[in-house]
């Protein structure tokens, strides 16, 4: 998987590059819009992360230029503005997404995966498996080591989301968005409460824990 990062802020670029490489991606970097467009037009990337405010050629024009050249590379636009303007909103079609700075790195990785999944047209699985934990999305049942685990709606939604991102941490904000469709942070430990319930049902009876808390980052499901 090869990803192009077009970002002019060197500190942020270094952070994103390092993180993406650790997450297993091959990453190229361009520091301005023109160089970025040149790279994107010559190398078939699986995804691109593009800052909106770029020297020489701004991010939105760059994306529009890519689309004019019939390149459908999934793009995540990074904006420093809090209110997302309409032009970015207009971009948010199947192969594009946007995030506002600052963002949790886990969220960037999750969005890249989601976009690439969508772009590759892979048929959605009906069953998610991590180690001995199995989630059947059709029957809406969960088993661990063959033993049935009874979950309530939100608990199921949380586990499904964690399992889809198995091995990759997801942030509190991402959970709020996916499980409740709330895009702001209520100052109460809603997510912690739900995770702790899920943990009780999934991990309590087993010595090996599968749901892990990464302080300051989020939660992750992985094989013990």
Partner 1 sequence: MSFERLRRTTRTVGFRLTVWSSSFFVVGSLALFGLAYVVVWSSLRERDDEAIRLESVELAAQYRLGGVPTVAQLLEHQERLGTNEPFLVRMIGPDGAVIFLGTPERWGEFELNHLGSPARPPQQEWFSLRARRDDKVVDVKSLRMPDGALLQVGKTTEDRAAIMKRFRATAAGGTIAVLVLGVGGGLLLTVWALRPLRQIIDTVRAIDAGAMNARVPRRQTGDELDELGGLFNNMLDRISMLIAGMRGALDTVAHDLRTPVARLRGVAELALRSDQRRDALQQALADCIEESDQLLTMLNTLMDISEAETGTLKLALESVNVSAIVEAAVDLYRHVAEDKHIAVSTASDPTLWLMADRSRLRQVLANLLDNAIKYTPAGGRVDVEAVRHKGLAIISVSDTGIGVMAHEVPRIWDRLYRGAHSRSERGLGLGLSLVRAVVMAHRGRVDVSSAVGGGSTFTITLPFSAAGAE
Residue 154 engages partner 1 in binding (rule: CB under 8 A): yes
Helices (H), 93-170: 105-120, 153-164
Q: Are 52 and 97 in contact (CB under 8 A)?
A: no
Cβ neighbours, 10 Å, residue 176: 18
Residue 82 engages partner 1 in binding (rule: CB under 8 A): yes
Q: State residue 66 phi and psi, 5-degree precision.
A: -60, -45
Q: Which is nearer to partner 1, 180 or 206 (CB)?
A: 180
Draw the binding track, 2-41, toward partner 1 (x: CB under 8 A; -: no contact). Answer: ----------------------------------------
CA 113, 118, 119, 124 torsion: positive or negative? positive
Cis (ω within 30 of 0) for the bond into 142? no
Residue 180 engages partner 1 in binding (rule: CB under 8 A): yes
Residue 193 engages partner 1 in binding (rule: CB under 8 A): yes
Which of 185, 200, 205, 223 is the binder for partner 1 (CB under 8 A)? 185
Which of 12, 46, 119, 197 is the binder for partner 1 (CB under 8 A)? 197
Residue 113 engages partner 1 in binding (rule: CB under 8 A): no
Q: How far is the CB of 195 from partner 1 (least distance, A)?
A: 10
26-30/75-79 β-pairing: unpaired
CA 181, 185, 186, 192 torsion: positive or negative? positive
* Lateral strand order in the sheet of 75-79: 26-30, 2-6, 47-51, 75-79, 96-100
Residue 85 engages partner 1 in binding (rule: CB under 8 A): no
Q: How far is the CB of 103 from partner 1 (least distance, A)?
A: 10
Which residues are CB-neighbours of 154 under 8 A, at least 6 positions away? 179, 180, 194
Which of 24, 55, 186, 224 is the binder for partner 1 (CB under 8 A)? 186
Query: Which span sits near partner 1 by CB under 8 A: 17-25, 69-77, 160-168, 174-182?
Result: 174-182
Q: Which is nearer to partner 1, 6 or 160 (CB)?
A: 160
Q: Which is nearer to partner 1, 60 or 194 (CB)?
A: 194
Which of 123, 138, 183, 204 is the binder for partner 1 (CB under 8 A)? 183
CA dist 173 and 161 (Å) reads 13
List of residues contacting partner 1 (CB under 8 A): 82-83, 102, 154, 180-190, 193-194, 197, 215-217
């Amino acid at each position: 998987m090869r990803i192009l990062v077009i970002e002019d802020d060197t500190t942020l670029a270094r952070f994103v590059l390092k993180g993406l490489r650790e997450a297993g991606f091959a990453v190229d970097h361009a520091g301005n819009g023109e160089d970025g467009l040149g790279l994107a037009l010559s190398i078939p990337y699986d995804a691109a992360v593009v800052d909106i405010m770029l020297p020489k050629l701004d991010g939105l024009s760059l994306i529009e230029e890519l689309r004019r050249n019939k390149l459908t590379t999934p793009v995540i636009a990074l904006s420093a503005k809090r209110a997302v303007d309409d032009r970015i909103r207009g971009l948010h079609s199947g192969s594009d997404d946007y995030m506002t700075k600052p963002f949790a790195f886990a969220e960037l990785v999750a969005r890249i995966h989601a976009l690439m999944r969508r772009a590759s047209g892979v048929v959605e699985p009906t069953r998610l498996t991590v180690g001995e934990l199995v989630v059947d999305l059709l029957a809406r049942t969960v088993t661990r080591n063959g033993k049935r685990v009874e979950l309530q709606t939100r608990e199921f939604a949380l586990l499904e989301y964690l399992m889809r991102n198995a091995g990759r941490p997801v942030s509190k904000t991402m959970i709020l968005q996916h499980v409740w469709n709330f895009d702001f942070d209520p100052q109460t430990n809603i997510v912690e409460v739900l995770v702790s319930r899920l943990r009780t049902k999934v991990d309590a009876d087993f010595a090996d824990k599968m749901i892990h808390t990464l302080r300051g980052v989020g939660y992750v499901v992985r094989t013990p």
